[in-house]
Copies of this chain bind each other. A is one copy, B any other.
Amino acid sequence: MDVAALNVLGYEDFVKIFGNVVEKCPSITAVVWSKRPFANLSALEAAFYEFIDALPDSGKEGILRCHPDLAGRDLQSGTLTTESREEQTRAGLNALSSAEASLMAQLNQDYKKRFDFPFVICAKMNDKATILEQLLERVGNDRAEERERGIEEVKKICHLRLQALMLHKL
């Protein structure tokens, strides 16, 4: 890991490497680039969080809506981003029993119907049991709570993706 190397990247290379640390939001990475140089990984993360936190509620919900369902159509059809596929697989979501898969699909559906955005959770910090538990619990929250909760999870995902990229790419 070498923050010095990261600090001299042009925006094109920076976005190529870090463009999906917020799922399908390379424009956020492109904003963060302009905040370089970064003293360390925490400063880089903070730049992502700062931009996200300053967005209006509609912008935060827009980010949530760019996340795929867990164990959803994109996992089945192979159209997940590389990062999401790896995360969902690690959480065992590619190996659900048919009963678990039906339950997950139903709960995802209920959640989206209630909130107009998908259930977002950092899959790498969970497994299928805790994901199902969280889905059942969080669907009872109100929309503002879930917007903030989803964004917290986006930040955890961002943290782990950045960490992995810093370890492997630089």
Within the complex, the shortest CB–CB distance from A54 to chain B, in Å, comes to 7
Given A34-B58, A59-B51, A116-B11, A26-B28 contact (CB < 8 Å): no
A15 adjacent to chain B (CB < 8 Å): yes
Can you offer 9 A-B residue contacts whose CB atoms are under 8 A? A10-B112, A11-B65, A11-B117, A27-B65, A30-B62, A30-B64, A31-B58, A51-B59, A54-B56
1/0 per residue, CB under 8 A from B, across A102-142: the answer is 00000000001000110000000000000000000000000
**Would B117 and A66 count as touching, CB distance under 8 A?**
no
A66 neighbours in B (Cβ, 8 Å): 15, 26-27, 30
| Structural contact, A27 and B24, CB atoms closer than 8 A | yes
**CA distance in complex: A24, B112 (Å):** 24
Give how many copies assemble into the complex.
2
Q: Give Cα distance in the complex from A35 to B65, angstroms.
A: 14
Q: Does A87 contact B (CB under 8 A)?
A: no
State whether the Cβ of A71 lies closer than 8 Å to any Cβ in chain B: no
Q: Nearest-CB distance from A116 to chain B (Å)? A: 7
A33-66: contact bitstring with B at CB < 8 Å (1 yes, 0 no)? 1110000000000000001001010110111111
Render A16-29 as a binary contact track against B, CB cut-off 8 A, 1 for contact. 00000000111111
Which residue on chain B has the smallest CB distance to residue A11? B65
* A33 closest partner in B (C-beta): B65
Contacts of A54 in B (CB 8 A): 56
